[in-house]
């Protein structure tokens, strides 16, 4: 199954505001059943600030809906200065081999 990985960065000075907004957003937009959340908000301090990573597993046919959910969820943070994010999708080796006729 493919993965949707969301990378988020924000300044340390915004931790409280980001966490409060996250808790509000989760209540407003619960994770849909098509998403299996494998990694929830793993975080690290970096020279760019705080970095957070979510890893979601979805069925191939649910990729668009899963990515759309994550995009809408991240819009909840758009007014917090310094919050940046990037959403990427990854396939497994087996899926990639199948796609090129080798699996």
- The CATH number covering residue 46 comes to 3.30.70.260
* Per-residue confidence band for 98, with pLDDT thresholds at 50, 70 and 90: confident
pLDDT (tens digit per residue) in 41-51:
999 999 889 99
The whole domain housing 22 covers 3-99
Query: What's the predicted TM-score (pTM) here?
Result: 0.88
In this predicted model, what pLDDT tens digit does every residue of 70-97 receive, in sequence order? Answer: 999 999 999 999 999 999 999 887 777 7
4-19 exposure pattern, b = at least 16 Cβ within 10 A, e = fewer: bbbebebbeebeebbe
Number of domains present in the structure of the chain:
1
Cα separation, 62 vs 67, whole angstroms: 9
Closest to 38 in 3D by CA, of 51, 50, 28, 53: 53
């Amino acid at each position: 199954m493919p993965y949707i990985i969301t990378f988020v960065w924000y300044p340390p000075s915004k931790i409280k505001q980001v966490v409060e907004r996250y808790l509000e957003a989760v209540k407003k937009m619960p994770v849909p059943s098509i998403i299996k959340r494998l990694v929830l908000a793993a975080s690290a301090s970096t020279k760019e600030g705080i970095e957070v990573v979510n890893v979601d597993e979805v069925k191939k046919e649910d990729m668009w809906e899963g990515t759309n959910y994550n995009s809408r969820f991240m819009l909840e943070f758009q007014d917090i200065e310094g919050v940046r994010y990037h959403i990427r999708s990854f396939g497994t080796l087996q899926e990639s081999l199948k796609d090129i006729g080798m699996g």
